[in-house]
Structures are given as C-alpha cells and as structure tokens.
Structure 1
Amino acid sequence: MSLLTAAELRPEIPIGSLSRQQAKQLLAQLAETILHHDRLYHAADDTAQPEISDADYDALIALNLEIETAFPDLVRHDSPSARVGTAGIAVLASSGHFAKITHSQPMLSLGNAFNADDVSDFADRIKRFLSLADDETIVMTAEPKIDGLSLSLRYEGGALQYAATRGNGTEGEDVTQNVKTIADVPHHLGAGLPDVFEVRGEVYMTRTDFTRLNSQQKEKGQKPFANPRNAAAGSLRQKDPAITRQRPLKFFAYARVKLLHQLQPPIQHFWTCCAKGGFR
C-alpha cells in the first residue's frame, strides 16, 4: 500500500487558507494513512514491517492536529488525535483472545523531541508547572527508550495480581499468564515495598536475541520476524503461554503508578524500589 508522507500531503498554501472541503479531504487522507501505519506498528502478525520512521509518523500526527486546530468543527470521529497513539493495539484488543483490564490510571504514550528546541520547550513546560524562574536550573535523568510493548504490572500484598497491555490507554488486555513466563518479572516482590505496587514498563527483545530467533525460524523453514518490536509484541500475545516461554522476552520497568496529581520522587528512588522488589 503506497501512502503519502506529511511533506507530500502538506498543501502549498497556509493551513488557515484552505477551503473547508480541502481541509475535510486532507483529514480523511490523514486518518486513513495514520491508521495504516498504526496497524503495521502494532500488528499482531509479528512479521509485519513498519514503512516509515518515527519522525515521519509524528509529522503526520502534527499535520493532522494543525488542520484540526484551524478547523475544529471538522474533527472526525475516528481522528488520530482522539487516540492515545495506540490505534493499532486498540483494534487488536477487540480480537477476543484476552480478557480486558481497566487501568488504575490511563497509560499514555510518550511525547517526542527530535531537536534542541523540542528539548528546550519541554524544560520550559516543566519550569512553568513547578512555578520555577526561567533562569532556575533543573536536573534531569535521561534513559534510553526501549522499543517494545508497554505493560502495566500490579502487585498487591507482594503478589503479582495482573499484567495488562496498554490497549487503548484506558483498557488493556490481560496477559498475566504469558508475562509470568518472562524471567525479568518477579511473581512475588521482596520486602519493604508498599502493599499496592504498580509499575509501568516495556516488554522487549534485544537485537542479539532477535537475530538468534530469526535464525531458528529460518532453520525450521518458518517466516522470519520483521523487527524486534513486532516479534516481542506477537510473542507476548500468544494464546499458549508455552510459546511465549520459548521466546527471549525481557522486561524493563521505567515508572511507578502513583496517586493522581502526586509528584514522583527522583528516579533513583524508583530504581531502589525495583531492586528491592526483585526486578532485574
């Protein structure tokens, strides 16, 4: 399927100068294009291959939002801006393979920054939120972004109660039994943690393990997987946990779910909690 990029879709005239019909047609094209790429990125078929880069995808989202801002009455019911960046998973979540779990707090997608101005804008927003002066220094901790499948783990009384995918951001799939086959995920937490401890993280596959898995696929005469991200997602969503157990999946916890409107402690505190809990 050949679809246009944001640069190709962007009109030569300013967005505000478009006619209503032109804006409506562009929004329809963008909705179709973005949904196509969402389905590839979040495909249940772990051999599917994304066709564009993250930056190109974000450019499509930005163009869609720019048109909607100029023509708010033309926002479509299936607008990409109304989704949490997980349309493909939302579609897959209707497959009926797994029970549904409502998240204690919405699982939102991360924002992106592709240049120094984006990072500066992010820092400025933090200062405004904390009511800090423009010249006040803030300390940040940067971590690598692991490209896998977002997961929420909830522990009560130290025992794993459930593991849920992000789904549509509000409701995800119950993949608890499959997640229990991942060595990085403790079934019971160590002492010294709150009675209710919920973490968000990423299920992923390293490139080395991905290459080894694809070699095994070829030896068996089976189709190789498209990329580590899709291989991890497809492996986690198997109907049979025994298949998931055979896949080299790992889990990386990056945040704890706290009460709404409560500031998170420094990330070092979270790392200490994870070490106490038994996360690798």
Structure 2
Amino acid sequence: MRRLAPIMLVSALVVGPVRAEQDLLLGADMNTPAMTQAEMTRADIEAMIAKADGKPLDLADKALSGLDLSGLNLRGVNLRTARLNKANLRGADLSGAILEQAWLIKADLSGAKLVDARMFGVTARDAKLSGADLSRSRPIGDFRGADMSGATLVDLRGGADIKNQSMGLMRAVFTSVNLSGANLKGANLGRSRLDYANLADADLTDAVLMGSDLSGANLTGATVAGADFKNVDVSGARLLSLKGQDSAKDWAARVNVDRAITQASN
C-alpha cells in the first residue's frame, strides 16, 4: 500500500501565567491524507502481530487514521507520532504502549487498556475513553472534550514536571473532559487543566490537584478524601455533596473560594 507522506508535527510551549499551556494543533493541517487516511489495513497489522510472536510492534509515524483496530493485542506497541484520528481501538490492549506525540483526535478507545502507556505530547481531543484503564499512564497532552466517564485513572501521572523548567507547563489538559464516575485514586494532576471538567461522583481519594485549574468544573458527589487542594482554582466550580471533604488536604488554601458554588440553588 502506498505510504503517505509524513507531516510536520508542530508543538508549542507557551511560557507565561499558569493558564498558558501547549497547543499541539498549532501549525498542523488536519485535512491532509497523512492525518485522515491509513497506509495499512487491519489485516496488515494482524499479520504483523502474528509474525512478531509476542514482541511489541513498531508502528511509529504510521498513518492509521480511521482503521478498525478494536480488540487487538497491541501491548507495548510503538506508536510515537502515529496518526490514529477517528480510529476504532475499542477494547484494544495498549498496555505499556508508546503514544508520545501521537494523534488520537475523535478516536474510540472505549474500554481499552492503556496501563503504563506513555502519552507525552499526545493529542486526543474529543476522543472516547469511557471505561478505559489508564492506570499509571502519563497523559501529558491535550484531551479537551474527551469522554473518560467511568474510566480508571489510578496513580495516573498527569502533573506538570516543574523540575524541568523548559517543559514546566507541559501538563495534562482535561478541559471540558467528562470524568464522571471515574476512579482517580492517587492520580497526580498537579497544575493540570481541569476547567469545566465533569467530575461528578468521581473518586479523587489522595489525588494531587495542587495548583490545578478546576474553574467551572462539576465535582458534585465527588470523593475528595486526602486530595491535595493547595492553590487549586475553584472559581465557578460546583462543590456540592462532596464526600471526605473534612480530610482533604489544604482545603482552606483553595483559590477563588468565594466564587465557587457550594450550595444548591432553590
């Protein structure tokens, strides 16, 4: 099959206030064949899996957009800079996968296994991840508008690494993400973007939220026992019927507390 020409991947790091973050779509033409078509078929990949005899596949920089890869065993697969926009990965096993700088816009990963997946610089806007397992993954990327309802994100590592000053603002962007009912126990989302996220009934036990943006987020019924709220922006956030609030860390150190919604309107 004809190989599609690679695209130039452009990412930007904006140095500035805490709300500034990377925009991984900057300069990318989303209408090119490299972003919308596939250079391989499902049968091609199934043949590679059979030939690999259990070894991880190398699909780095491949154009795989729109492919049906549902249910496949892709453990440890190298998909660095691969394009998987609108791909069907429902129920696929991507445990330990390398998805750094991969494109997963509107991809369907419902019920997929992404345990220990490396997702630095991934772009997964409007992706479907409901019921997926992202435990211990590192999703330092753009998930705006994604559906992560009921997902497992235990010990997720999405916080900004401030020790690396050049990449200090590279962080998980979960703006307007549906995280209702998600398991975020022990997740590190320090300095992350969670503005307008739906965290209703989510389990945030022992989660690190320090310095994150929760403005406009819905935390109705969420469990926050042991969660770190130091310098968390809660402007416009719905903080109703919270469970474990008395044991939340630095609860008094939240920002814009006077603008949070703490009482249900009549």
Q: Tell me if TM exceeds 0.5.
A: no
The TM-score, its normalising length taken from structure 1, stands at 0.24
Decide which structure has greater strand share. Answer: 1
Decide which structure has greater helix share. Answer: 1
The TM-score, its normalising length taken from structure 2, stands at 0.25
The structure number with the bigger radius of gyration is 1
